[in-house]
Structure formats: C-alpha cells, structure tokens
Amino acid sequence: MTDRTSFYRMVFLVGAAYDMILGALFFLAWRPIYDTLGIQPPGHTAYLHIATAYIFGQGLSYWYVSRNIIRNLDMVRVGIVYKAIYVGLAAYYLIIGQMIHPVFTWFAVFDFIFLLLFIACLRWAASSPEARPASV
C-alpha cells in the first residue's frame, strides 16, 4: 500500500465518521441541537429525518471507499456530486441571506475541503496502476 493510498483511506475514514456522526446526531437529537442553536424547527420532521438518514448513508459509503478505494471509485464520484450539491446550495442560501444558521456554513466549508480531497483522490486513482484493468 502506497503513502497516497493510506492518505486517501484516512480521508474517507474521516469523511465517514464526519457524515455518520452528523447524520446520527441530527436524526436522534435534532430538537436539542435546534434549541441550542436557536433554529426554528421544521414544520414536519420527515424532511429532517430523510436528509439526516441520507447523510448517514453517504457516510457509510465513504467507509466502504476507505476499505478499497479502487473498487469503490463510483462511490467517490457520487461523493463528489453530494459534496458539490451541499456546498452549492449552502453558498446560494448564504449569498441570498437565508442561511439557516452559521453552523451550516461551517459544514459547507468542511464539505468543500472534502470535495477537493475527493476530486484529488479520483485524479490520483486515474493514474494509479491499481485502477487499470488487468490485461487479458
């Protein structure tokens, strides 16, 4: 295993922990979190539970990537899309002055860092001998 492989495995392990913990916390304890942050609760909790379950599931996919990056490159691509969507939406709501709370801006900053690292991983994998199909 190369140093790069080890580095990207750690990136995806941290990404997995980050999304799984955030997803689980907001799923299970959204009310105390919202109360602490002074955020108005949503009209229906289904929106929150669906989003946080998705975040947890995305984190689980990063754990699978950490186990075998090359085999799971499609999940890296999905992760790039997921992170780009969140960062883009967060930037939009920040620009129009409707960001729900500054903590969600910080989540976007962290997701932007993960986005850049995921893109770098994909580029590295494209040039990795491990990623090339076996000769017939």
**In this model, does residue 2 exceed pLDDT 90?**
no
For the question of whether the overall pTM of this predicted structure is more than 0.85, the answer is yes
Identify the pLDDT of residue 69: 96
Interior angle at CA 132, CA 131 and CA 134, nearest 5: 120
Nearest to 23 by CA among 62, 44, 50: 50
Q: What is the DSSP string of 10-42?
A: HHHHHHHHHHHHHHHHHHHHHHHHHHHHTPPPP
pLDDT tens digits, 112-125? 999 999 999 999 99
For residue 126, give both structure tokens: 């494209």
Cβ atoms of 68 and 61 within 8 Å: the answer is: no
122 contact partners, CB below 8 Å, separation of at least 6:
73, 76, 77, 80
**What average pLDDT does the structure give for the chain?**
93
Identify the pLDDT of residue 136: 45
